[in-house]
């Protein structure tokens, strides 16, 4: 149930949500997972079958990314619960929540079918991971609608980056096409959340800045309940699929500092001014760390070229 303190705020932004929902309908194109999955490559899993990495034709880093990406999508029931809690089930907000959920549901269908058909990931480990992930029901739980807008905007963009970069490392065209399509969906979701949050900053900048601070400083991808998530995250970062460089350049700098214009917001309360100062300090620190990581990566790439 929507918090009583959020009712007026969501009501003020509902006309914007309605406009963004209509834009979403106009910009998105219908697609069907079954048309992208290479069914002709499938075989029965005979009794006693044991998976081997040699079947995958993928690096360990890409397998980790696919494992995390799919199990993240599988946790959809819990995301729906919290999205509906934050935004409600009525009007444009409710229609968006249901539309978003339906579109996200396709992602798990398409990715799982592809991984099963191609045997790219151990199906036993995948199913056990799904049971653990959904049995735990661990998801981020923003404290308010304003915080939720901030979090999902950042998270949807992060997810889009991860899906797109994963697909780019899959040489199999079917796998590439599936991840590309999923990334397109995630980008449309990001645009809705990015722009509704921007409307929130325009309407009540102090409330939004205060809500934004914990979502930036404590940001975590929604897959934190996945088994061995930390180890998978390290492999994903190592491959450049998603790391602090991407997070800083494409999310913190581009969206928080750029599109939402955090440094230039006017009329903030004293509490919001202090929150903004802490966010800016955090982003600057993130930038320094990202610069060091990027420099080391470029040095490794240069050495690899020399050796080659």
Q: Give the range among 1-5, 52-56, 244-248 with minimum mean pLDDT.
A: 1-5
Give pLDDT tens digits for 37-61: 999 999 999 999 999 988 888 999 9
Range of the domain at 40: 4-203+223-243
Would you say residue 11 lies in a domain?
yes
Residue 308 has pLDDT above 70, yes or no: no
pLDDT > 70: what percent of the chain? 97
Residue 302 has pLDDT above 90, yes or no: no
Would you say residue 117 lies in a domain?
yes
- Token look-up 């309908």 returns 25
Alpha-carbon distance of 74 to 131, in angstroms, equals 10
Alpha-carbon distance of 151 to 107, in angstroms, equals 20
Give pLDDT tens digits for 140-149: 889 999 999 9
- Exposed e or buried b for every residue in 34-56, given b needs 16+ CB within 10 A? eebbbeeeeeeeeeeeebeeeeb
User: Residue 101: pLDDT band by 50, 70, 90 thresholds?
Assistant: very high
User: Residue 306: pLDDT band by 50, 70, 90 thresholds?
Assistant: confident
Alpha-carbon distance of 10 to 144, in angstroms, equals 11
Would you say residue 298 lies in a domain?
no
The confidence score (pLDDT) of residue 297 equals 84
The confidence score (pLDDT) of residue 307 equals 63
Structural domain count of the chain: 1
- Token look-up 């995390």 returns 68
In the DSSP assignment, the letter for residue 254 is I
Based on C-alpha coordinates, what's the Rg of the chain? 20
The confidence score (pLDDT) of residue 34 equals 96
Would you say residue 281 lies in a domain?
no
Q: What is the CATH number of the domain that holds 149?
A: 1.10.620.20
Contact (Cβ atoms closer than 8 angstroms) between residue 205 and residue 265: yes
Would you say residue 137 lies in a domain?
yes
Residue 17 has pLDDT above 70, yes or no: yes
User: Which residues neighbour 140 within 8 Å (Cβ) at sequence distance 6 or greater?
Assistant: 82, 151, 155, 220, 222
User: Residue 210: pLDDT band by 50, 70, 90 thresholds?
Assistant: very high
State mean pLDDT over 210-237.
92
Would you say residue 277 lies in a domain?
no
pLDDT > 90: what percent of the chain? 88
- Could you tell me the pTM of the whole model? 0.94
Would you say residue 28 lies in a domain?
yes
Would you say residue 14 lies in a domain?
yes
The confidence score (pLDDT) of residue 2 equals 61
Residue 115 has pLDDT above 60, yes or no: yes
The confidence score (pLDDT) of residue 160 equals 97
State mean pLDDT over 301-305.
72
């Amino acid at each position: 149930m929507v918090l009583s303190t959020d009712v007026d705020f969501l009501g003020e932004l509902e006309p914007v949500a309605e406009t963004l929902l209509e834009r979403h309908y106009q910009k998105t194109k219908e697609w069907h997972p079954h048309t992208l999955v290479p069914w002709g490559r499938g075989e029965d899993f005979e009794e006693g079958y044991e998976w081997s990495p040699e079947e995958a034709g993928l690096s360990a880093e890409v397998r980790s990314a696919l494992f995390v990406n799919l199990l993240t999508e599988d946790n959809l029931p819990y995301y729906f619960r919290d999205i509906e809690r934050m935004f409600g089930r009525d009007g444009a907000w409710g229609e968006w929540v249901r539309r978003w959920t339906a579109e996200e549901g396709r992602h798990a269908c398409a990715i799982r079918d592809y991984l099963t058909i191609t045997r790219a990931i151990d199906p036993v480990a995948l199913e056990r991971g799904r049971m653990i992930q959904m049995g735990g029901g661990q998801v981020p739980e923003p404290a308010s609608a304003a915080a939720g807008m901030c979090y999902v905007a950042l998270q949807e963009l992060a997810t889009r980056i991860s899906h797109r970069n994963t697909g780019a490392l899959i040489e199999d065209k079917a796998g590439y096409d599936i991840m590309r399509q999923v990334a397109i969906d995630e980008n449309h979701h990001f645009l809705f959340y990015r722009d509704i949050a921007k409307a929130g900053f325009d309407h009540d900048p102090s409330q939004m800045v205060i809500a934004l601070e914990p979502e930036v400083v404590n940001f975590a991808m929604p897959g934190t309940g996945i088994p061995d998530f930390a180890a998978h995250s390290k492999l994903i970062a190592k491959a450049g699929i998603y790391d602090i460089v991407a997070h800083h350049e494409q999310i913190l700098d581009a969206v928080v500092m750029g599109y939402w214009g955090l440094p230039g917001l006017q009329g903030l309360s004293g509490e919001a001014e202090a929150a903004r100062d802490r966010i800016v300090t955090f982003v600057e620190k993130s930038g320094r760390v990202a610069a060091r990581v990027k420099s080391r990566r470029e040095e490794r790439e240069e050495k690899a070229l020399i050796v080659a």
